[in-house]
Copies of this chain bind each other. A is one copy, B any other.
Amino acid sequence: MSAAVELFSEQGFAATTVPQITERAGLTTRTFFRHFADKREVLFGHEDAPTQARAFLAQAPPGMSTAEFIAWGLGLMARERFDGHRDELRVIQALIDSDDSLQERSLRKREMLNSLVGEALRSRGLGEQRARLLAEATVSALYVALDHWLNSDTDVSIDALALKALAGLHADLDGIGTVPRPAPSIQQARRPSSATPN
Contact = CB atoms under 8 A, between A and B. Distances in A.
Interface string A108-138: 0110010000000000001001101110110
Interface stretch (A6-14, A16-24, A25-33, A79-87): A79-87
A175 B70 CA distance: 11
A54 interface: no
A98 to B, nearest CB: 13
Given A92-B196, A198-B43, A67 B133 contact: no
A145 B174 CA distance: 19
Given A129-B165, A163-B179, A186-B59, A66 B195 contact: no
Interface residues of A, number: 86
A90 to B, nearest CB: 10
A15 interface: no
A197 interface: yes
13 contacts: A44-B198, A61-B185, A67-B173, A70-B176, A72-B182, A77-B197, A80-B193, A85-B193, A92-B196, A146-B198, A159-B181, A167-B177, A170-B173
Given A81-B195, A92-B195, A126-B172, 7 more contacts: A71-B176, A75-B184, A82-B195, A133-B140, A134-B173, A143-B197, A164-B177
